[in-house]
Structure 1
Amino acid sequence: MIKYVILLFSISFIMQTKAQTDDEVIAKIGNIPVTRKEFIQRYEMIPQLDRQMKGITPQLKEEFLYGIIFEKLFAQAALEHRLDTVEITSYSIHEFEKMFVRDALYNKEVAEKAKGKAQQLLADYFSNATKVFARALYSPNEKEINNYSSLLSKGLPFDSLMVELPEQSKDTLAFEIGMEDESLERQIFSLPEHANTLPIHFEDGWYIYHIVKRYEPILAKSQGWESEYQQIKKVARRRAEREYFVKYMKQMFLNKKIEANGLLLKLSTDKIVLLLETKAAGKKDDKDKLYLSSEDFYTLEKSELADSLTKVFVKLGKKNIPLKSFIRFLNFENPGFTSSEKRDVLSLLSRKTREFIEREVLAEEGYKQKLDQTNEVKESLGIWKDFLLHQAMQGTFLDSAKVSDEEVAAYYAKRNSKKESPPLVNIIEILTNSLETVDTVLQKLKEGIDFKILAKQYSQRELTKENDGEFGLFPTTSFGEIGRIAGLLKIGEMYGPLKVPEGYSIFKLTDKKNSKFSTDEEFSMMKEKLKRDLAFNKLRSSIIQYSVELARKYGITINENLLKATPVTNLNSVIYRYIGFGGKITAVPMMTPFTDWVEEWKKVNTAP
């Protein structure tokens, strides 16, 4: 008993110490802290190929921290400018809050209440085998399989029967706790070695299973029992939560009066089909799914469905939900369509309508229980709110990137007078708007698959499709952040995923050259390209200058010792957070650290 108390005290002490450590502030930007916990989560859960290649270094940790600091600076500025009240920003923040409220409701009403049942299941599993090896006797005919069963029940050895049936498979099958077919699992695992099941019917015929060996690694504490324990524990929790989930959903939607506007659903289907048809033409493989981009959803809102957005799409009792909310839900979910056929699109949108309704009802219940006021929800929302606010603040700089014809002409004249040209780079790129594809690519790169093979298979950029993702030489002033970052890489180095307007870009530098200045290029031929390059440079310069101003205004303090002492790992995978009652998001916002302002800030900050 004394040992048990001491053990509990030790665990409690360790947990308290860890909690205190996680809450330590690694940096402070004005009134906004960056805790050690947030830094570790975001560093480890945002994949970056350059970190994988260079390893964990103090410089990379510092650069990443400055990326978070940049986000917090702009988030504070956004609040000062009341950008949180702008319709699209306010809507986005509220949608994230609703999602975390639903998750908190699931934890309260399902996960917590299912813990007792999970412990009971776990005890049952541990008192039994966790893996069973068996052989199968098959027949497509019920009468024949019953004859086999009768012979076995009268004492005929299974092996002897199999000798008389040479066409039967001799393979040994492995069954584990956690099978999808729980009924079959119960029949298999309830039997001792050398026993036979009764005939079991499946779609392709009838089976009798003969138990060859029962495997009990947890009871025997044999090699690998710890991982087996964790796996069984997950199965018990999942099954217990599933049972309570079904009960809760039945109770929640009992006698609920819900109406969905079928005409608006069909109209939305027609408009989405038109957008998907253009994408279907460029499919490389029939198995590839079709995704709508943010620009596609913008088109739906601003033109295709503009006249219908305010119409009531769903009625939940006295609450009316407009079509606009459903379209934005689709934008957030970004479902993959198997084809552009109207029947398939309507089928998917019907399922999404059901999910949309369920989540609205559940969020409403969560707010009734005041779950939005819990620390759990506030902490989850905090990181995402800062991220969304910083995006909104960055969006206000787009006007500063507008370039007049006079400015382009002056830029061209200055370039000619100095006879300077930016370096040229060549990259192979994988562009995708699917984070699942990003994760697949990262895993295949880990396995050593050639980058160009992956680009040929996965890249969606129309411009480079003919060349399997290869750009050809282009100046580092082109293609925005892609060109700028490519100019900083060494040949053979990879970078990504980088968030770009079209989705996510992963690229590899294959060549770099100093370009020769030429006066042969006429201004009329270069004007549009120069305008894009100059606009990007103006935008970047404006953001750098404003970042420095904000850093001086709010003040930045960094606990250098804590930063150095904070251990991190390079997971380099896309990590998801699965939300209670359905849905998933990336575990943390997918931030591309912007640190170009830091050097200028340090100069200004140290100036007398």
Structure 2
Amino acid sequence: MIIKISSMLPSVIRIIFLLFLIISCNAAAQKAPLTIAEIGKLKITDSEFRIRYELSPFISQKSGTNAEQRKSDFLFSLITEKLWYLEALSSGISESQLFRFYYQPVEDIHLRDALFKKEISDKVKLSADDVTKALMFAGTEVKTDVISGNDSAAIFYLYHELSGTTPEKHDSVLVTFSSSGLSLNQFTVVLGSMKDAEVEEYIFTLKQGECSYPVKSELGWTMFLVREKSSKPVDISNQSEVNRIKEIIRNRKTLLKTGEYFSKLLSDVRIDINEQNFRYIAEAMYNKIKIRYPEGIDTAEGKIILSDSDFRELLSEIPEQEIRRQLFTAGLNAVTILDFLSHTAFNELTFSSSGKAYVYQRLSNAVKTFVQSCILTDEARRQGLLQTESVQRDLALWKESMLAHFLKLSSLDSARASDDEVKQYYDTDIYNDREQTYLNVQILTLAQLSEVEEALRRITEGTSFDQVTRSYGFTDPLADSAGMTGLKPAAVLGSIGTIAAGLELNELYGPVRRENGSYSLLMVKEKQRSSDAPVVDFEKDKEQLRRYLAQKKITGFISEKTAELFKKYGVRVNEQLLSSVKTSDIYMFTHRLMGFGGRISAVPLLDNWADWINIQQLKKELLP
């Protein structure tokens, strides 16, 4: 399969134009950062703490409504993350194939973003003339009929007919051309609505009833008939409105600059994709979809998605020599099946059908997009952008978070509960708890963060959590199709029960990262305390009890290991400075839209380590 990159440029540029927004820790700080905590040679500054705190969707509620204590809990979660990162570095996890599988796309997207900033956004400048023209037309709205077609003779004849008659007769003229093969659509022209600034300005100068001269465009021959035109003055004393207008012009210049850059970099590039190796991985991914959806599925919403567990299974099932097969070469680099899988997992590719032909076509389009990404990433590396301060700073946050999480996951194997331990707990320990917490928890479990974001968006816009959860049907083995667990002892609900026991009624919490890589949102609908022996069916609830005991082991292990790491690396905290850091209590789940396309969480999602560690005990281990 040979693809010529230039043939894909128009659609690529349109997407890229919409996907550029810079959010960085550096932008939040207007003064020299102050150090809140030191962990070995690492530091947590006030600016890092603030942006991580405010851009985390949910904060541990173990301290209730005490805002200062919540900040302290969050700081100790950050400290724990960095301690586990330091320990992970010494363990060699960063060199493992699995870690590189998840980390490489993060590095690559930051490189492309840095390239976009250097080659595109930093070079877009607004002249005084640009601003003057924009302010002149900013209040103008022109409602038009857009007439287009491939028959130049027909459209020029229509142009002369419309130009030679009064506006009152335009409709009758158009009726006579209804069978000429020309199409007619309505379009409202406002500042920035058209890619071509000159055409847009030309339409702004037309009077009501006038018709533009036909021009050749992507739609064929096109002209605009002005139906209505209105103008209102722009308040130039309103700086926010002036800035909005400037941004419209800057975005259009960015679009044009991006097109020029793509033409220069990619116009003569030809990539030969190995057809056999592409079909090999396409077949493997299709088979995984077929296993997950054995009865087939077609959905306009594109809800078919391979989960983190699916990709881990693919990595373990495909032999090493097969997964290292070469798909194509970008620059001097051989790009493999493994690289494509990594890119696909990171970008959370969705499918709207489980049909084989459709899946193959979707993956074919995905590999073409991947080719473009590889060329841009290679160019960014060639320019040495990986060594720039901003890229290194952003990647450090991601590497710390990901390595800490990987080390935590690696400890799960030592936290398995045997059949004997589960039976012992059921026969004896569960009945020794004087006070049992019974919970009915509503759970929504989704495979990818993008799905969680969509659910949170719907909730933010006013749809209740109950409605959102019911719309997904069965998503979690602990719950029914409405997402309800029913009233059960917290122990039976495993790690979810441990978290939910500390929540208030109707308090939305999450996303909670589950052991299988999925994410859960949860809300406690009922909560009761009872000294009566809990009603538990051993055979029915054995696996939930096993998960609960495993969670207890994990919590104990994490708490003990963190205390050990406090002593090993040494931790200092400036609690007075922490108290002085002003933060918002409106927590957000925010994406950073990256240059040249793609998106990533604005900051790494912090595990709620505070729910697993003994903070009061750790404070006794702080260095002076």
For the superposition of Structure 1 and Structure 2, which TM-score range results when normalised by the shorter chain?
0.7 to 0.9
Which of 603, 613, 619 is the aligned partner of 1:597?
613
Partner of 1:234: 247
> Distance in 2 between the 1:341 and 1:135 partners?
43
Cα distance in 2, alignment partners of residues 240 and 204 from structure 1:
25
- For 1:273, the equivalent position in structure 2 comes to 286
- Separation (CA, whole Å) in 2 of partners of 1:264 and 1:426: 49
Q: Quote the residue 2:231 is aligned against.
A: 214
Which residue number in structure 1 is paired with residue 113 of structure 2?
A: 103
Query: In structure 2, what is the Cα distance between the partners aligned to 1:606 and 1:587?
Result: 30
The equivalent position to 1:176 in structure 2, one of 190, 212, 217, is 190
Worse-superposed segment, 534-543 or 240-249: 240-249
1-side partners of 2:71 and 2:307: how far apart? 32
Equivalent in the alignment of 1:252: 265
Contact kept, 8 Å, 1:36 with 1:566, in 2: the verdict is yes
1:312-362 Cα shifts (integer Å, max 9, x gaps): 121235532221111111111111112112232222212221222222222
Name the residue aligned to 2:584. Answer: 569
1:96 partner amino acid = V
| TM-aligned CA deviation for residue 301 of structure 1 | 2.0
Write the mapping of 1:298-337 to structure 2, written as runs, cut at 5 A.
298-303=312-317, 308-316=322-330, 318-337=332-351
TM-score by length of 1: 0.83
Aligned mates of 1:284, 1:253 — CA distance in 2: 36
Residue 282 and residue 556 in structure 1: after superposition, are their counterparts in 2 closer, same or farther (change >3 A)? farther
**3-state DSSP class of the match of 1:363?**
helix
Any unmatched runs of 5+ in structure 1?
1-15
CA distance in 2, matches of 1:593, 1:130: 47
Aligned runs of 1:435-584 on 2, under 5 Å?
435-458=449-472, 461-463=475-477, 466-500=480-514, 501-515=516-530, 517-518=532-533, 527-584=542-599
| Partner Cα distance (1:514, 1:561) in 2 | 39
> For residue 385 of structure 2, what is the aligned residue in structure 1?
371
Deviations 1:274-309 (A, max 9, x none): 322355558695424211001111222222576621
Structure-2 change in CA distance of 1:456 and 1:304 (3 Å) = farther
Could you tell me how far apart the structure 2 residues matched to 1:137 and 1:522 are? 70
> Which structure 2 residues correspond to residues 56-95 of structure 1 after superposition, within 5 A?
57-95=67-105
**Corresponding residue to 1:350 among 364, 369, 375:** 364
CA distance in 1, matches of 2:271, 2:28: 47
Residues paired across the two proteins, number: 581
Q: Deviations over 1:483-512 (max 9, x none)?
A: 111101122222122222352211111101
- Whether 2:404 is the aligned partner of 1:383: answer no
Could you tell me which residue of structure 1 aligns to residue 448 of structure 2?
Answer: 434
Asked if structure 2 preserves the Cα contact closer than 8 Å seen for 1:71 and 1:386, the reply is yes
Gaps of 5+ in 2: 1-25, 179-184
Q: Judging changes above 3 Å, is the alpha-carbon distance between structure 1 residues 523 and 461 closer, same or farther for their aligned structure 2 residues?
A: closer
1:71/1:128 Cα in 2 relative to 1: closer, same or farther (>3 Å)?
A: same
Give 2:330's aligned amino acid. Answer: L
Alignment partners' CA distance in 1, 2:484 and 2:276? 45
| Counterpart residue identity of residue 110, structure 2 | F
Find the aligned partners of 1:164 and 1:56 in 2 and give their Cα distance: 72
User: Match of 1:83, as an amino acid?
Assistant: I
Q: Which residue of 1 aligns with 2:134?
A: 126
Percent of pairs identical after alignment?
24
State the shift of 1:44 in Å.
1.9
Secondary structure of the residue aligned to 1:557 is: strand
Determine the C-alpha separation between the residues in 2 that align with 1:246 and 1:62: 48
Please give the alpha-carbon distance, in whole angstroms, between the structure 1 residues aligned to 2:49 and 2:426. Answer: 43
Q: 1:119 to 1:569 in 2, by over 3 A?
A: farther
Q: Is the 8 A contact 2:412 2:554 kept in 1?
A: yes
Give 3-state SS (helix, strand or coil) of 1:234's partner: helix
SS at match of 2:491: coil
- Give 1:544 deviation, angstroms: 0.7
1:556-604 alpha-carbon deviations (Å, 9 max, x no partner):
2222233222222355443222222222111111123221313352475
Letter in 1 for 2:582: P
> Please, what is the CA RMSD of the aligned residues?
3.8
CA separation of 1:338/1:193 partners in 2, compared to 1, >3 Å: closer, same or farther?
same
